[in-house]
């Protein structure tokens, strides 16, 4: 089981919650997480598959083959803009 933090507009896809728990098997990777999220939250999963949302693991941008463990800090980061 991993906990996934959600920020900004991503909360709207999970009934306003800022965190969800996802059951994953041992040896899971970010791709497995994305597939599970897509199953449980199709709209959120679609954004992940389109790479419009970034997955962060332990405060670093993760690739789909990044291995996960239950103690990882996982966050989904919505698109953002800024700067002047």
Where does residue 70 rank: exposed (0-12), middle (13-18), buried (19+ CB within 10 A)? exposed
Q: Is residue 41 part of a domain?
A: yes
pTM listed for this prediction: 0.90
Contacts of 63 (CB under 8 A, 6+ apart): 30
Q: Is residue 42 part of a domain?
A: yes
Q: What is the pLDDT of residue 80?
A: 74
* Domain harbouring 37, CATH code: 3.10.20.30
Domain assignment of residue 71, given as a range: 2-77
Q: What is the pLDDT of residue 17?
A: 93
Q: Is residue 82 part of a domain?
A: no
* Overall domain count for the chain: 1
Q: What is the pLDDT of residue 83?
A: 57
Q: Is residue 83 part of a domain?
A: no
Q: Is residue 24 part of a domain?
A: yes
Q: What is the pLDDT of residue 2?
A: 94
Q: Is residue 84 part of a domain?
A: no
| pLDDT by position in tens, the chain (length 84) | 899 999 999 999 999 999 999 999 989 999 999 999 999 999 999 999 999 999 999 999 999 999 999 999 999 999 876 656
């Amino acid at each position: 089981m991993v906990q996934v933090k959600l920020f900004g507009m991503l909360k709207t896809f999970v009934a306003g919650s800022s965190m969800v728990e996802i059951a994953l098997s041992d040896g899971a990777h970010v791709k497995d997480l994305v597939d599970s999220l897509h199953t449980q939250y199709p709209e959120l999963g679609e954004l992940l598959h389109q790479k419009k949302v970034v997955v962060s693991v332990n405060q670093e941008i993760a690739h789909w083959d990044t291995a996960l463990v239950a103690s990882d800090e996982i966050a989904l980061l919505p698109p953002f803009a800024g700067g002047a």
